[in-house]
Amino acid sequence: HRSGGRIYMDASIRIRYAPRNNPYLLLRQYYNYGYGRALSTGRDLRSFGRRQFLISLHFIFLTSSLLLAPIWFPALAYWAAYLGLLASTSILIAVKKHSGCGLLAGFAALLMHIGWGCGFLTGIIKQLLQITPDKYDFPPLYDKYTIDN
């Protein structure tokens, strides 16, 4: 988009999705999604929807509560409520689908929310500070993982 191109959003376009085979890759995937969304939002503020705002706000609350916890323990109540919601949702999915795999749904949602929120806010801050964004600036966990995983 920096070269004057356009970004088209079309809900009818379908792509093939390959699930990530470890938690780090899922976290990195959603970090990159959030980061990319920040870049496209920076070009057109009308593309910033309520859902993106709520996930960003949620990430700020999660981060703030962790930072405040050492001096004000009740700040962790936000985390407790969130983790309780994730656990309840995981149990409901496991029961509904008759599969223990559903118990991992909450953990996956946690990674997606944190990854997307962190990537989005990183992209917004870089744009506000006019730092040239890198396509892949999420730190690698191990050298054996590549961007294509």
Residue 146: phi, psi to the nearest 5? -115, 170
Locus of tokens 């990159």: 32
DSSP string covering 23-80, please? HHHHHHHHHHHHHHHHHHHHH-GGG--HHHHHHHHHHHHHHHHHHHTTT-GGGGHHHH
Say which residue, 88 or 147, is predicted with more confidence.
88
| Residues 70-120: tens digit of each pLDDT | 999 999 999 999 999 999 999 999 999 999 999 999 999 999 999 999 999
| 30-34: average pLDDT | 93
Work out the pLDDT band at 2, boundaries 50, 70, 90: low
Q: What is the pTM of this model?
A: 0.77
Enter the tokens of residue 112.
């997606």
